[in-house]
Amino acid sequence: MDEARTYLTEEPPSEPLFTLDLGANGGMFAPTSAADMLSWIQTELAFWAWIREVSSNGNFKSALDNAMAPLKQAENRAVEAKGYEIPLNESAVVDRAKEVEQLVRVALLELKWPHSSTNLAKATELLRQEDPLAAAAYLYVFVPATQGYPFDARDASSWRGFVQGLMQRYDLAGVGTFELEAQRGALEQLREKYEQVLGKKKNSIELLQGDFARLVGDINTSKNAQETEFSQILTTAKEQHDDSIKEHKEEMEALRRAFNEAMTLRAPVDYWQTKASSHGEKANAWMKWTFGSMVALGLLLGLLAAWVFLTLHDEKPDAWKIAVLVLVGVLGVWAVRLIVRMYLSHQHLATDAEERVTMIKTYLALLEGDRMPSDDDRKLVLTPLFRPATDGIVKDEGLPHPLLELFTRSQGK
């Protein structure tokens, strides 16, 4: 499982230095580094290293060495490319990689040198285990003939391998036993390779399934948490919305009541404002009449007193003159008093009207601020607001009877 996790978490492969399609003779050769390239070539050379140890009097071994020469040159170029990777010289690595590509192309595609995974390589390996010299002669048949290297052998093993190669290449006697074994070996190697790949893939898939199940669980947990949170948010929002609607309705109802009250009390406000203005103007006018009448009465009484006392005979005033003076004084005082009472009445009515306007406006402000919750509170305001208005005139404004009686008695004597 750890290997599968490592397989999943490893970094994606780098861009290959080149891509060479070898077809059935090795598949796709796409090294991503100089080390990868060198490892591939050295694996092939190691597989065919036994050819160097074969001792033969014939010249077919030279033909094999000549066919393997491009691979050996490719190994040298790969070693150079790997050396350029340490002090990074990208251009030199790319140049050596191109040379390696060309040399491998020549060896495996043009000279048909078999890849270690092919049936031919497996058959040659099986024959090598019996007779290396025969295996070399067998391989010679499948390598394209090069000028100067015709088959020439002086031993039975070489001829045995050469004849078996001819029979296999041209299908002269069907498939031999070692060819079948070679094919079985190649298939077995392929099967093992793909078993390993399938094992890794299986482990990776199982790991992915486990991770997927955990992710699904985490997603479901997160989903449930989000649904719960969202439901709580919706519930809270709904409650807040309902509260806001309720509060808004209450405010609108208060405004409606205040508006209705304001419309209802607009006429009284206008009426009492007009009354206050009218009584204020009349109070000012009567105040002027009050001071004027007092001055006029003082002048009149002064003139009458001067007339009475300037016309004395034997230092005794005439009774009728005294009566006229007293009568004018009493009537004048009564008239001035009446004027003063009219002034005070209008002043009182103006103040009362202004108080009513102020009370109405205060009442409307209390309604608008919803600070008049009960009917009892309204009664406390409306009772003095709509009380009957007095005229402010003091009753019993007739002539002063005691003075008239005193004047009548003096006349009778």
Over its length of 413 residues, how does the chain's per-residue pLDDT go in tens digits?
455 455 444 455 578 889 898 888 888 898 988 889 999 999 999 999 998 888 776 677 888 888 889 999 999 999 998 888 776 778 888 899 999 999 999 999 888 899 988 888 888 888 888 888 888 888 888 887 655 567 777 777 778 888 888 887 777 755 555 556 666 666 666 666 666 666 677 667 877 888 888 888 889 888 888 888 888 898 888 888 888 898 888 888 877 776 776 666 667 777 777 877 887 888 788 888 888 888 887 888 788 777 777 776 666 666 777 777 778 778 878 888 888 888 888 888 888 878 877 877 777 777 666 665 566 666 666 676 666 666 555 554 444 445 445 544 544 44
Q: Among 174, 206, 233, which residue terminates a domain?
A: 174
Same domain, 163 and 265: no
Q: Whole-angstrom Cα distance, residue 238 to residue 300?
A: 87
Q: Whole-angstrom Cα distance, residue 257 to residue 372?
A: 11
What is residue 401's predicted lDDT score, i.e. its pLDDT?
Answer: 47
The domain tally of the chain equals 2
What is residue 263's predicted lDDT score, i.e. its pLDDT?
Answer: 67
What is residue 398's predicted lDDT score, i.e. its pLDDT?
Answer: 46
Task: Please indicate, yes or no, if residue 151 is contained in any of the structural domains.
Answer: yes
Task: Please indicate, yes or no, if residue 236 is contained in any of the structural domains.
Answer: no
Task: Please indicate, yes or no, if residue 110 is contained in any of the structural domains.
Answer: yes
Same domain, 21 and 126: yes
Q: Whole-angstrom Cα distance, residue 245 to residue 239?
A: 10
Same domain, 263 and 391: yes
Taken in order 24, 26, 32, 37, is the CA torsion positive or negative?
negative
- Tally of CB atoms within 10 A around 269: 15
Q: Among 151, 174, 197, which residue terminates a domain?
A: 174
Buried b (16+ CB within 10 A) or exposed e, 373-392: eeeeebeebeeebeeeeeeb
Same domain, 157 and 252: no
Element (H, E) at 272: helix 177-310
What is residue 41's predicted lDDT score, i.e. its pLDDT?
Answer: 93
Element (H, E) at 28: strand 28-29
Same domain, 14 and 146: yes
Q: Whole-angstrom Cα distance, residue 82 to residue 96?
A: 9
What is residue 329's predicted lDDT score, i.e. its pLDDT?
Answer: 77
Q: Whole-angstrom Cα distance, residue 289 to residue 116?
A: 141
Task: Please indicate, yes or no, if residue 190 is contained in any of the structural domains.
Answer: no
What is residue 99's predicted lDDT score, i.e. its pLDDT?
Answer: 93
Task: Please indicate, yes or no, if residue 208 is contained in any of the structural domains.
Answer: no
Same domain, 30 and 151: yes
Q: What is the span of the domain harbouring residue 312?
A: 245-412
Q: Among 128, 145, 174, which residue terminates a domain?
A: 174
What is residue 378's predicted lDDT score, i.e. its pLDDT?
Answer: 67
Same domain, 399 and 260: yes
313: left (phi over 0), alpha (psi -120 to 50) or beta: beta
Q: For tokens 């002669």, what's the residue?
A: 137
What DSSP state is assigned to residue 49? T
Q: What SS3 state is found at 255? A: helix
Element (H, E) at 29: strand 28-29
The angle subtended at Cα 373 by Cα 371 and Cα 377, nearest 5°, is 90
Element (H, E) at 21: strand 20-21
pTM, entire model: 0.45
Distances 385 to 122, 259, 266, 269 between C-alpha atoms, Å: 123, 18, 14, 11
Counting residues of the chain whose pLDDT is more than 70, the rounded percentage is: 72
